[in-house]
A = this chain, B = another copy of it.
Amino acid sequence: MDTSIFKLHHKDCHCKARTGEIQLPHGIVKTPAFMPVGTNATVKGMYHDDVAKIGYNLILANTYHLYLRPGLDVIRSFDGVHGFSNWNHNILTDSGGFQVFSLSHLRKIHEQGVKFQSHIDGSRHIFTPEKVVDIQQILGSDIAMMLDVCSAPGISWKEALNAMDITHLWAERAIVRRDSLKDLTGRAFRGNLFGIVQGGFYEDLRVKSARTISSMDFPGVAIGGLSVGESKEDFVRFLSLTAENITERKPRYVMGIGTPDYLLYAMENGIDLFDCVLQTRTARFGTVFTDDGMLNLTKAFNRFDHGPIQEGCTCRACTEYSRSYLRHLFTADEMFGGMLASEHNLTYMLNFMKRARKAIEEDRFLSFKEDFIKRFYANGGVCKGSEA
């Protein structure tokens, strides 16, 4: 019996890009898929209904943030994030590890786990591989991530080896915890625990980590430690190397990438799942996606423009409002600007993934990729006039 959550639909015959679906507790997700980020159990500036109406049925929420605020006691009282936030589709939660490394103070890593101080109130906490599984059980995550060691870029081979070894050890401990949860709590783990590949920018370690994590009892595999400041060439090289050492039978996830070029490179290498804050964060500052690159709505050249952000876009920002009105909202510092721009960027991204999936199904992903990049980056990735 195939217990895999991933069903392959089609592989492009000219590259490794593939379409498929991930079967999750709150519905099937078509891949490749982009996940909007809802750090605090809310996709910033969006009604949940509208996120779903656009077509998303999987969002990301951050374990670190929800653990600290509102706290697990509150979320447990709602039987998880779904009940708490009234988002009735799928939720992926990260392990919290990345935020511990990037946001908290005085973190200290041991083989046992990570000690850290909250960036909100300085309170002291510890995350262990087991605790992070327990937390995500309480959150009710449809996809949960194991705790990994997020190593800094530029570390030595020996340091990368050490981080990888601890990650692999933590992977085993996470699986043991997941499997014993029913015995410990009387309640089986409901979500799908994904493993995370590390190994820094050393080929031997990447290959080893990919094969090790891939072979473990995880229904999905994420690639960590990429897009941390390395060159685009290194990103593509290590992504490709890592991906080809992960089994085809599991969904593959690259965390935290969201620019069209990186998404296209990753899809070309058979990656299925993505998340990024870029789409909603830039939107709140008035920067929106178009086929011709990023458009800065705040610039004066939009002042008399009665046209939409992007011809043919189906979002409300494009069908009901002009660039001129949107510019006005941003210059007047009105919330509605960020709301409309967020809706546009998430709509644009959903349609971008749809177009990519269609291209894969029709075995023309490579030309789709090239055409898209050629147009989007014709002016360095920004619309004419939007240069900083």
Asked if A78 meets B306 with Cβ closer than 8 Å, knowing A70-B324, A328-B70, the reply is: yes
Tell which of B86, B325, B334 touches A325, judged by Cβ atoms closer than 8 Å.
Answer: B86
Q: Does A301 contact B (CB under 8 A)?
A: no
Tell which of B77, B316, B335 touches A335, judged by Cβ atoms closer than 8 Å.
Answer: B335
Asked if A320 meets B78 with Cβ closer than 8 Å, knowing A41-B328, A334-B44, the reply is: no
Is A303 in contact with B70, judged by CB distance below 8 angstroms?
Answer: yes
Tell which of B42, B65, B84 touches A324, judged by Cβ atoms closer than 8 Å.
Answer: B84
Is B332 in contact with A65, judged by CB distance below 8 angstroms?
Answer: yes
Q: Does A112 contact B (CB under 8 A)?
A: no
Is B332 in contact with A69, judged by CB distance below 8 angstroms?
Answer: yes
Is A77 in contact with B306, judged by CB distance below 8 angstroms?
Answer: yes
Total count of chain A residues near the partner, CB < 8 A: 38
The answer for the CA separation of A45 and B325 in the assembled complex, in Å, is 15
As a 0/1 sequence over residues 77 to 108 of chain A, the CB contacts with chain B under 8 angstroms (1 = contact) are: 11000001110000000000000000000000
What copy number does this chain have within its complex?
2
Is A47 in contact with B78, judged by CB distance below 8 angstroms?
Answer: no
The answer for the CA separation of A42 and B333 in the assembled complex, in Å, is 11
The answer for the CA separation of A339 and B84 in the assembled complex, in Å, is 17
Tell which of B46, B86, B338, B339 touches A320, judged by Cβ atoms closer than 8 Å.
Answer: B86
Q: Does A329 contact B (CB under 8 A)?
A: yes
Residue of B nearest to A342 (CB): B335
The answer for the CA separation of A84 and B78 in the assembled complex, in Å, is 43
Q: Does A202 contact B (CB under 8 A)?
A: no
Q: Does A304 contact B (CB under 8 A)?
A: yes
Q: Does A265 contact B (CB under 8 A)?
A: no
Residue of B nearest to A73 (CB): B304
How far does the Cβ of A40 sit from chain B's closest Cβ, in whole Å? 4
The answer for the CA separation of A230 and B305 in the assembled complex, in Å, is 47
As a 0/1 sequence over residues 55 to 68 of chain A, the CB contacts with chain B under 8 angstroms (1 = contact) are: 00000000001000
How far does the Cβ of A189 sit from chain B's closest Cβ, in whole Å? 25
The answer for the CA separation of A334 and B85 in the assembled complex, in Å, is 13
Contacts of A316 in B (CB 8 A): 47, 49
Within 8 A of B (CB), among A317-348: 320-322, 324-325, 327-329, 331-332, 334-336, 338-339
Is B338 in contact with A86, judged by CB distance below 8 angstroms?
Answer: no
Asked if A332 meets B40 with Cβ closer than 8 Å, knowing A77-B304, A77-B306, A303-B70, the reply is: yes
Can you list 23 A-B contacts with CB-CB less than 8 angstroms, sorted by A residue number?
A40-B332, A40-B334, A41-B325, A42-B334, A42-B336, A44-B335, A44-B336, A45-B339, A47-B316, A47-B336, A70-B324, A70-B331, A73-B304, A74-B303, A74-B324, A74-B328, A77-B304, A78-B324, A84-B322, A84-B324, A85-B325, A335-B335, A335-B338
Tell me the A residues contacting B by CB distance below 8 Å.
40-42, 44-49, 65, 69-70, 73-74, 77-78, 84-86, 303-304, 306, 316, 320-322, 324-325, 327-329, 331-332, 334-336, 338-339
The 3 closest A-B pairs by CB, nearest first: A40-B332, A70-B328, A42-B336
* Extra inter-chain contacts (13) besides given A70-B327, A84-B325, CB under 8 Å: A40-B332, A40-B334, A45-B335, A47-B336, A70-B331, A73-B304, A77-B306, A78-B322, A84-B324, A84-B328, A85-B325, A86-B320, A335-B339
